[in-house]
Amino acid sequence: MSKYLKSHFDYDATPEDEQLADALLAHPKKELIIGAVLGESREESYDRQGFTGYQEWEPIGHLLDKPDDIPNPPGDDHGRLFRRKSDKKPCFYISMPYGFGADDFVAVMEYCKRWGFKASIGNCDTWYPGRTVGIKYYVDHDLCPKYVV
């Protein structure tokens, strides 16, 4: 591990530093922890992981190569399609609706079933904390960043 630390930092790593770095790199949510330590926003973390969000309201249908055939998700607000920087491939769509409740949850699940999406719903909202929730829609989990919505 000291090779990793020495290549990224200009100091000699102590055994404690190496132990901490090993534990962090082995942690399943390391991207979330790194982002929190760095004080990153969700978008900054996505950028660091090689994803970029194009303009708002780019249709979610791009995820299935059907940009004009699939309606936006239920309650969609502040929606944004994210693409991989390297090849511009559409990878996931983030929506941050207001006032998300049980009926909204059912509507999202029905939408996903109808159109073939998967969804990750979290309370890490960046638009209006406490008033919106973050919903990540995707098709292939391997194309998503390792950051929790």
- Taking the chain (149 residues) in runs of 10, the rounded mean pLDDT of each run is 49 74 76 67 77 77 90 89 89 87 92 93 65 86 63
Residues 30 and 60 reside in one and the same domain? no
Residues 83 and 26 reside in one and the same domain? no
pTM of the complete model: 0.70
pLDDT of residue 118: 92
Residues 96 and 135 reside in one and the same domain? yes
Identify whether 75 is part of a domain: yes
**Domain containing residue 2:** 1-39
Which residues, listed in sequence order, are joined to residue 122 by a DSSP beta bridge? 134
Query: For the chain, what is the domain count?
Result: 2
Residues 99 and 126 reside in one and the same domain? yes
Residues 62 and 111 reside in one and the same domain? yes
